[in-house]
Chain A
Amino acid sequence: DAGVTQSPTHLIKTRGQHVTLRCSPISGHKSVSWYQQVLGQGPQFIFQYYEKEERGRGNFPDRFSARQFPNYSSELNVNALLLGDSALYLCASSGLAGNSYEQYFGPGTRLTVT
């Protein structure tokens, strides 16, 4: 069975640009969460979507937005990129069948902003 997939794996952008990151959850999983992981730190929660609705939002500026599609895949969009947005962006899916603390993470997208 395929795990969580993310694309692209690596990305280099310039300050002020916009970026779109994509995630496909494990088949049958309806919940997708996004995390940002800066080098040397634990992942920080950005968003959670369940059944195409936003269920949770972390402490990130409005430049960060996301959506979930009918097939439960998801996009994370970041506008007006800053150097500090350079990080590993992780997507996680869960079935939310009573235990969403068991989440399955993808390999991440490494974003570098120059």
Chain B
Amino acid sequence: LAKITQPISMDSYEGQEVNITCSHNNIATNDYITWYQQFPSQGPRFIIQGYKTKVTNEVASLFIPADRKSSTLSLPRFSLSDTAVYYCLVGGPHGSSNTGKLIFGQGTTLQVKP
């Protein structure tokens, strides 16, 4: 299983771009990188998934360098409503061992800078 490292917490001013980097040095060839967002007292919500280079959707962008040992989730303009925990997940396209198992770490708590 890929060992995942991401910051425990980050803060940002509203209106700024926020980048959260996740390290996954031993990512396997068929692993995808997926990010989830979780607001307090809610279930996690799928944000974005990618395999290599760059993926963009209406919520965020995901940048994956050629070696795929890290990835960066980018939120274009941070707002108070983006305050949440962000989880970086790494695994095969059908989950771990095709069981659909998602392996969550502690995630990154993103908050407004005081």
Write the residues of chain A forming the contact surface with B, with a CB cutoff of 8 angstroms.
4, 31, 33, 35, 40-45, 48, 50, 55-56, 58, 90-92, 94, 96, 98-108
The one of A58, A96, A99 in contact with B101, judged by C-beta atoms closer than 8 angstroms, is: A58
B102 pairs with A56, CB closer than 8 A: no
Q: How far is the CA of A43 from the CA of B99 in the complex (A)?
A: 16
Task: Give bound CA distance, A64 to B49, whole Å.
Answer: 31
Count chain B residues whose beta carbon lies closer than 8 angstroms to a beta carbon of A: 28
- Give the one of A43, A50, A101, A104 with max B CB within 10 A: A101
Q: How far is the CA of A103 from the CA of B96 in the complex (A)?
A: 13
Known: A98-B93, A98-B94, A102-B49. A43 touches B44 (CB 8 A): yes
Q: Does B87 contact A (CB under 8 A)?
A: yes
B binding-site residues for A, Cβ under 8 Å: 32, 34, 41-46, 49, 85, 87, 89, 91, 93-107
Best-buried of A31, A42, A45, A96 by chain B (most CB within 10 Å)? A42
Residues in B whose Cβ lies below 8 Å from that of A92: 43, 102
Q: Are A101 and B91 in contact (CB under 8 A)?
A: yes
